[in-house]
Amino acid sequence: MTSEELDKVLEAFDESLHDLIEELLMEYFTGNKQDVSSAAMAVRKRRLKNERESLKQRLSSIQENLTEVESEMEILNDLSKELDKDDRIRHAVETLRTLSEEHRDPSNDAVQKHADRVGLTPQQLLDELEEEYPTNKLGEPILD
């Protein structure tokens, strides 16, 4: 193995070269290994197990973050749908604002059509209309 190849292999370790050598020597002298190769394999195995555990913890953390993001996305999606519905209701109210009191009836085809489009009953849409644009004593809408 060339020194360049060794440098590439050593880059994979998070610890310093000194720590690696110390661990190899400790394994060789205290681990009842017959040769340096067996000691090196035991150290590599131990390090790989540690790396696997670290990756499992990281994966778990990433999965938790992903679950949180998915939950936040769901909340934002619900809010977006709610805002879209509010916009559609406002548009329907704006469209119907000039209806006189006599035409502000749940049986009115225009009221039914707009109520159906925004997901409200005709009476609910008329309540929104009355709240936003009430009528005067003559039954005419108050537009300002």
Q: Which helix (H) or strand (E) holds 18?
A: helix 17-30
pTM over 0.85: no
Distances 64 to 12, 54, 59, 69, 72 between C-alpha atoms, Å: 27, 15, 9, 9, 12
Residues of the chain where predicted confidence (pLDDT) is lower than 70? 1, 6, 9-15, 17, 31-34, 144
Number of H helices, E strands in the chain: 5, 0
Q: Are 106 and 112 in contact (CB under 8 A)?
A: yes
